[in-house]
Structure 1
Amino acid sequence: MIRLPISHDSAADIIPIFREGLKQSNVRAGEKVVVYADSFSNPVYAPAFVAAARDLGAEAFSFIQPLINADASNRLGRANPQPLMIELMKLADFVVDVTTGGMLYSNDHEAILATGTRILRVHEPEDILLRLMPSQTIKDRAERGVARYQNAKVVHLTSKDGTDLVMQKGSRLASNQYGMADTVGRWDHWGTGLVCTTVEEETVEGVLVLSPGDVLFPFERYVTQPLKIYFEKGIAQRFEGGREAVMLEHLIVNRGDEGARRLSHVGWGVEDRGAWDTLSMRNWDKAGGVETRSCYGNVLLAIGENRDLMGQNASRLHIDMAFRQTRLELDGEPIVDCCKFLDQSVA
């Protein structure tokens, strides 16, 4: 559970922040807005979003789903909306998802988006939402990254600690996040700024190394010693390293499947306001995860589920990894290296 303000005055205090965030997602008069919460959501977020949407002239209401048994027991960390809730969200123009786990990587999520409904995920504490307010600057940078990524065929990762991983992008499309659900059928996550693509899953070959200081999700911890993952024909065959390697392999063996061993997506962060160390200082209130994933010039890679990004890998798990000391090249041309952009067209 994230840190919860205990005063009802907090809701009034954050309405202006939420109103500006909704404006950036083009919420406007006459739209139908639904706020989806659960019994463990921040109790002031749902009413504050309803008030913010109504200030913009939208029709708005919220509903709350019990978390225990509905979500907490599935061990996947994903929201599990009831059928009636799904149908209501399909009828909305805009959904604000403030649930504990979020709907991403679920069939329900894709079905709602397919109707044209826009979904904005909001989970971070209010100070991070304010600091990472969606902006046109981040959107422009994310869109330039997609344009650069689109025609690439081969992605190559290297690092001084031994990463040497090659994969074929082929005709897969690139995508981005910039914190705005501003177009029909778009999902985004407030506080996020990144560019990514899926790859042809079976083409991934080589070794991927997480260096000390890199971040391994979903444990939300900085790696303490090199963790090596060896890919053969697209499958992560073995893991070498210290306790983080043991934890990762245990997670995949006990809660995952073969799909959890395949690459999901790969790309880079574009959020120059993001702080890499936030996760270490704010893990107690579940802050910093999105921010760390999005940090300017980092390499973000995931294994597991990727069908929401038009990939072909189905899995019960989705595991993000963020890298500070890795070089990413497209068709032999460097894009980023150790959080510095070498290609200024996407900087």
Structure 2
Amino acid sequence: MLADRIEGKWIDAFERVFSLCKVTKGETVALLSETQSRPLNVHIAELALHRFGATVFHVVVPTPPQDSPVPVRSTGASAALGGQDAVVAALAASGLVVDLTVEGLLHAPELPRILEHGARLLMISNEHPDALERLLPQPRDKDRVRDAVARIRACSVMTVTSKAGTDLTVAMPDASTVGVWGWCDRPGSVAHWPAGLVVSFPKAGSVNGTLVLDAGDVNLTFKRYLESPVRLTIVDDYVTEIDGHGTDAELTRRYLAAWGDRDAYAVSHVGFGMNEAARYEALTMYDQRETNGTEVRAYSGNFLFSTGANEFAGRFTKGHFDIPVRGCTIALDGEAVVVDGDLIEALR
């Protein structure tokens, strides 16, 4: 267990990221948190912003009541701002919003209203600052991630294969593709820290084939390394079969079925990690309450597969899996960008 005390080195780390976000003296910065947020990160963020002479104010909202049949984890779609119109207005009037909610606002319905007048938003993932310190964004990451985004946006078909048996095809026309390098320095921009990944939200009916989650792959909703393979059959975006023996297959079946919602079985996004500092094995180093698993989402060369909401396909659900898959070859119109789990040299 790590000690929840303020360390000068962590203030330095937060200061570095806010510097990349171009925080200026006198700029209005909103620190958004909820009653179940990690207090340590909220406090460190305030102290780091003080070094810039920014005008900082706190917005703390109650963590909303649970209304789901199973625990909700790491959706990027916090419900904390539901019905909080005055809070949304205050955030929208800020230059920078530092998002310290538990689930994050990346897919929250209020996000467009917050950004519409030029506010930028940095989501600091609900990690212990020990991890954030190791995963500081690097200036070179911006060009690398933007290169990957350009390649994906230019392709018609993404294919994903692996020696474990994955054989997946994703139609990419009109997919919404975003890359995150860890800071937001333009009006209306959004980023999260840790970062270093690119993801695409395909249009409806775009994903077909087989995805094999092998032993050692990670289900980040469960914060668990798989101990036995789980084979997913995907037809027109929807998982139609879940094959496998043992605990991992059973957990997958039960969690998806618990929602009573067909869209919980649908593909949310596909993409790959590009963060050379992120470690696959990091999940073993932290107690579950100390990590949100964002580092493992971003480790270099993983195929990041996600089920759940995809607003670009008209699907909304709280059921959500993020699963970084090892050892895949990802090709765009037949040209590999990841080979057996390694980024090609041009993207490193």
TM-score by length of 2: 0.90
* Cα contact 1:192–1:271 (8 A) shared by 2: yes
Q: Give distance in 2, aligned partners of 1:3 and 1:73.
A: 31
Q: Give distance in 1, aligned partners of 2:102 and 2:237.
A: 32
Give the aligned partner of residue 313 of structure 1.
315
Secondary structure, aligned partner of 2:286:
helix
Give the aligned partner of residue 98 of structure 1.
100
% identical aligned pairs: 28
Give the aligned partner of residue 60 of structure 1.
56
Q: Give distance in 2, aligned partners of 1:299 and 1:140.
A: 20
* Cα contact 1:96–1:120 (8 A) shared by 2: yes
1:269 aligns with 2:273: yes
Structure 1 unmatched runs, 5+: none
Residue 13 of structure 1 and its aligned partner are, at CA, apart by 5.3
Counterparts in 2 of 1:107-122, with a 5 A limit?
Answer: 107-122=109-124
Root-mean-square deviation over aligned CA pairs? 2.1
Give the aligned partner of residue 14 of structure 2.
18
- The one-letter code of the counterpart of 1:21 is V
Counterparts in 2 of 1:153-302, with a 5 A limit?
Answer: 153-242=156-245, 243-255=247-259, 257-287=261-291, 289-302=293-306
Deviations 1:309-345 (A, max 9, x none): x454322223211011111111111111232123x33
1:42 aligns with 2:38: yes
Residue 157 of structure 1 and its aligned partner are, at CA, apart by 0.9
Q: Give distance in 2, aligned partners of 1:285 and 1:259.
A: 28
* Cα contact 1:215–1:323 (8 A) shared by 2: yes
Q: 1:332 aligns with which of 331, 334, 341?
A: 334
Structure 1, 277-286 or 89-98: larger mean CA deviation: 277-286
Give the aligned partner of residue 29 of structure 1.
25
* Cα contact 2:159–2:168 (8 A) shared by 1: yes
- The one-letter code of the counterpart of 2:111 is H
Runs of 4+ residues over 6 Å off in structure 1: none
* Cα contact 2:277–2:299 (8 A) shared by 1: yes
Structure 2 unmatched runs, 5+: none
Structure 1, 263-272 or 111-120: larger mean CA deviation: 111-120
* Cα contact 1:282–1:288 (8 A) shared by 2: no
TM-score by length of 1: 0.90
Q: Give distance in 2, aligned partners of 1:167 and 1:76.
A: 27
Q: Give distance in 2, aligned partners of 1:272 and 1:311.
A: 31
Aligned CA distance change for structure 1 residues 311 and 141 (closer, same or farther; 3 Å):
farther
Aligned CA distance change for structure 1 residues 341 and 30 (closer, same or farther; 3 Å):
same
Q: Give distance in 2, aligned partners of 1:146 and 1:104.
A: 18
Alignment length, in residue pairs? 338
Give the aligned partner of residue 80 of structure 1.
80
Residue 4 of structure 1 and its aligned partner are, at CA, apart by 5.8
Residue 289 of structure 1 and its aligned partner are, at CA, apart by 0.7
- The one-letter code of the counterpart of 2:257 is V
- The one-letter code of the counterpart of 2:167 is D
Secondary structure, aligned partner of 1:297:
coil
* Cα contact 1:4–1:43 (8 A) shared by 2: no
Residue 121 of structure 1 and its aligned partner are, at CA, apart by 1.4
Deviations 1:224-272 (A, max 9, x none): 1111111122221111113222212222221252222221111111100
* Cα contact 2:41–2:129 (8 A) shared by 1: no
- The one-letter code of the counterpart of 2:347 is V
Aligned CA distance change for structure 1 residues 83 and 76 (closer, same or farther; 3 Å):
farther
Secondary structure, aligned partner of 1:315:
coil
* Cα contact 1:105–1:306 (8 A) shared by 2: no
